[in-house]
Structure 1
């Protein structure tokens, strides 16, 4: 099994209310750049990383983290691995295959209001600078 990138478990952060067995699929607008339709579904092996992603998504819905199972091959997320950080320290991945929801998790670390504001400000700066998303 030398070709396994990471044994998991895996997590996906979102504001969408989903149920066990639901599938996350590509082809939806980016949570961070809605003008872009995403070719992949993104996930991480870090519970708090998924929590961070869920919290910084714009909108009023509560952040949610789901434990997920990739149903096909996946690769390192080039938006944060090698191109921006050596290796894959964020244990972030993407796939063109669905992710199956296994469970909702509530045991992730929430951001302080100050940290959340700082992250959202960073995202707005990147958006204003038209930072590239490798899709």
Structure 2
């Protein structure tokens, strides 16, 4: 486990309608590779990073960004830190323990429809590329 770079606050983006006190857990399909069941729950210290995840999450609900707190140990997300960026500039983390919803924020930047489409196209390319594996 690597040392996390900060202590929060932390955010999680989704289209799920959640309440304060709800726990988010691992064991669900990846938003980016639905055939992969995730061993971790992911979160970030950047509200706009959580907003991006919310915008790209599957489902018909409105994108939402929640303030969360880890209930156990967490580590830097190796999918973006070790593979793509030295250090952790995206301030992205993951935990095998649940994270608890402590609030919701609307202080994040929404994507334009064009930007959302560009991200969806990028994800489609990653899904088709065998090298775009998820470190689970």
TM-score (norm 1): 0.94
Superposed displacement of residue 82, structure 1: 2.4
- Quote the Cα distance in structure 1 between the aligned partners of 2:98 and 2:108: 23
Q: Deviations over 1:96-118 (max 9, x none)?
A: 01100001111111001111110
Q: CA 1:19/1:41 → structure 2, altered by over 3 Å: closer, same or farther?
A: same
- Contact 2:72–2:98 (CA under 8 A) maintained in structure 1: yes
Report what 1:19 is aligned to. 19
Report what 2:133 is aligned to. 132
Q: How does 1:50-61 map to 2 (within 5 A)?
A: 50-61=50-61
- Quote the Cα distance in structure 2 between the aligned partners of 1:58 and 1:16: 10
Q: Give ranges in structure 2 of 5+ residues lacking alignment.
A: none
Runs of 4+ in 1 over 4 A off after TM superposition: none
Q: How does 1:1-135 map to 2 (within 5 A)?
A: 5-130=5-130, 131-135=132-136
- Quote the Cα distance in structure 1 between the aligned partners of 2:95 and 2:31: 16
Q: Give ranges in structure 1 of 5+ residues lacking alignment.
A: none
- Quote the Cα distance in structure 2 between the aligned partners of 1:16 and 1:116: 18
- Quote the Cα distance in structure 2 between the aligned partners of 1:62 and 1:86: 33
TM-score (norm 2): 0.93
- Quote the Cα distance in structure 2 between the aligned partners of 1:75 and 1:120: 27
- Equivalent position SS for 1:81: coil
Instruction: Give the number of aligned pairs.
Output: 133
Q: Which moved more, 1:67-76 or 1:23-32?
A: 23-32
Superposed displacement of residue 79, structure 1: 0.2
- Quote the Cα distance in structure 1 between the aligned partners of 2:82 and 2:65: 25
